[in-house]
Structure 1
């Protein structure tokens, strides 16, 4: 029985091309205990992966069995496979096999799993959409953007809405607010010398003091194709900043041109759908535009989100960066991250910017919020 299960698995891996060499047998490979047989699994996998052999899997009619439609395939894989597997299959369909009909057919698009990978693909192919399909895409963009915002909002607001006030006790008992020094000092009388143990009768926490002295934050995001994940998070993050009372937020995106999206910050859909991916990269030009938005340098942060691969003159980039820093404004360079959250950027340019006094590094939203909070103090 185990041997037959292994053969069934190999048949699924190799696909229907191997039917003359390997046949399904035994009680059949059951998926998710739902009575689904090997043939169902093979049909769903063949619909996608037969493209490796150049087959026109979309044709219908003829003397063979009827073929799945794209909409039927989406329905089927959702019934056959767990969510994580469905997302992998959908990603392969879009990225590896360029099945653009997934995004140009309203019925199919509505069945896709809303997630960040789908959002990225919509942003890349939105020029192919129109009418009801575009309306559906915008709903997906809003849903995914709101999910990302919900996560980022918790991290950013916790970091930015105040600094620790060591003089005022807090009723919020969290490790983030723990006043360890006060806790030890107030409990020293309960130290057990024999056990060499400090007994804590009371644990003290610090409150947060809110600050409303407004700072201007200018976020400049490189919209070249490799920066897509960073563009999405930056756009959503800027929208969160726009709601915070201590920040006056501006958002610009750039390639060789600069587009100011500050007017759309409160609507993440408009912000994201305005992104035009690809093209060259002219960081110096973007920073020159940002420099023009600086009114009070001592209360301004310019946040550059880029892989720092400058398409123009490095001298020009360093020159405008020096001007921003010497004006008294803070220049923060957030480097791009790959899918595994590893920094991907031009390290030589990063070092030269750091030598000028820019703050350069990869930061999570919470780390950025903490860093900004320290600057604002």
Structure 2
């Protein structure tokens, strides 16, 4: 790498205030890249009280362009992964809220989970003219996550493997290696010491006849944004499966039954009111009233277990449900990095009264449900 190229790279890294030391090291194309970087990361200088210098930069000052212009230019100048990272920085680090004030700008963003979280967190502060754009963006994110998760839930809950019935549909998870070896032993090649598989065998699945009642009880307090997003999507998947009857309940200090809209995760997300306190006991007592077949009912509590009310009512309710042989699953809240964030002391007290506690990703939750339904 030449000295001039090294100087050019350092100039782009350090920003406009390095120019007195580096000189005019940038080409016209580099200036476009520098302008786009400066529009976003130059705000760090501004926060420190360093004023922009007249004549420096290519005119991408916030007073001269819109956020949409910046987004379009950034998408053209940088690889997709870099563009998405800069978009996240604009929303998370530098508070470019003007990005979320214009429907055209919002639709120009790359839909991802970070953007969906930002929209859900500030939905109440967005104008009526933004609602359709918000729905469109969240809808795309929900579709993407659903596409990734649906297979896991359908496969886990569609039925247990039947080892006495063969399937013509190949599936890695249904592969029967014992039967395959037995059926193909005559094709063993002594010279190469290899078994030639002519006809692999697969197990079929038994469809469950009696569905389980699954009550998904979701904490919608302010700390639960990530869990609410995935819970709505999981409910939307479960409601389409014949092996379960899903009830969707959300709560803070109030309890709202959203079962009627469980098939539409986007509507659920646009309905929940993130914020307020937490009364887990009240929500669990409501779920207790929904139980009609205790031995075929699962109550899955998605929460950080930070009970805001006196805990006695919650603990007593959990104990009653456990004694009635309801399966109680406590799903600890996960943050955006899938790290568990919950009240461990309360989780232990719930576990002592019959609730199984785990911090699981949605994919692992699918497997847990399958094990319980058996």
TM-score by length of 2: 0.89
Trace 1:218-229 onto structure 2 (pairs within 5 A): 218-229=215-226
The structure 2 residue matched to 1:104, chosen from 90, 98, 101, is 101
Deviation at 1:318, TM superposition (A): 2.0
Residue 85 of structure 2 corresponds to 88
Is the contact between residue 227 and residue 335 of structure 2 (CA under 8 Å) also seen in structure 1? no
Structure 1: which 5+ runs fail to align? 29-35
Structure 2: which 5+ runs fail to align? none
Residue 70 of structure 1 corresponds to 67
Structure-2 separation of matches of 1:43 and 1:192: 67
1:28-76 Cα deviation digits (max 9, x unpaired) = 4xxxxxxx722111111111112212269xx99x988643321211111
Change (3 A) 1:343 1:189: farther
The structure 1 residue matched to 2:335, chosen from 335, 338, 348, is 338
Residue 2 of structure 1 corresponds to 2
1:328 aligns with 2:325: yes
Question: Which region of structure 1 is more displaced relative to structure 2, 39-48 or 272-281?
Answer: 272-281
Deviation at 1:164, TM superposition (A): 0.5
Please state whether the residue corresponding to 2:272 is helix, strand or coil: coil
Is the contact between residue 159 and residue 366 of structure 1 (CA under 8 Å) also seen in structure 2? no
Deviation at 1:201, TM superposition (A): 5.0
Structure-1 separation of matches of 2:103 and 2:365: 39
Deviation at 1:188, TM superposition (A): 5.8
Deviation at 1:370, TM superposition (A): 2.9
Question: Which region of structure 1 is more displaced relative to structure 2, 152-161 or 5-14?
Answer: 5-14
Residue 154 of structure 1 corresponds to 151
RMSD: 2.7
Deviation at 1:359, TM superposition (A): 2.0
Structure-1 separation of matches of 2:329 and 2:234: 15
The structure 1 residue matched to 2:303, chosen from 286, 302, 306, is 306
Please state whether the residue corresponding to 1:38 is helix, strand or coil: helix
The structure 1 residue matched to 2:232, chosen from 232, 235, 244, is 235
Residue 37 of structure 1 corresponds to 29
1:14 aligns with 2:14: yes
Trace 1:135-150 onto structure 2 (pairs within 5 A): 135-150=132-147
Deviation at 1:205, TM superposition (A): 1.0
Is the contact between residue 219 and residue 238 of structure 1 (CA under 8 Å) also seen in structure 2? yes
Is the contact between residue 8 and residue 23 of structure 1 (CA under 8 Å) also seen in structure 2? no
Deviation at 1:132, TM superposition (A): 3.0
Change (3 A) 1:2 1:346: farther
Is the contact between residue 318 and residue 354 of structure 2 (CA under 8 Å) also seen in structure 1? no
Change (3 A) 1:24 1:224: farther
Change (3 A) 1:15 1:115: same
Deviation at 1:84, TM superposition (A): 1.6
Is the contact between residue 252 and residue 261 of structure 1 (CA under 8 Å) also seen in structure 2? yes
1:339-360 Cα deviation digits (max 9, x unpaired) = 3323332333323333333222
Deviation at 1:7, TM superposition (A): 1.9
Please state whether the residue corresponding to 1:249 is helix, strand or coil: strand
Is the contact between residue 325 and residue 357 of structure 1 (CA under 8 Å) also seen in structure 2? yes
Change (3 A) 1:197 1:359: farther
TM-score by length of 1: 0.88
1:180 aligns with 2:177: yes
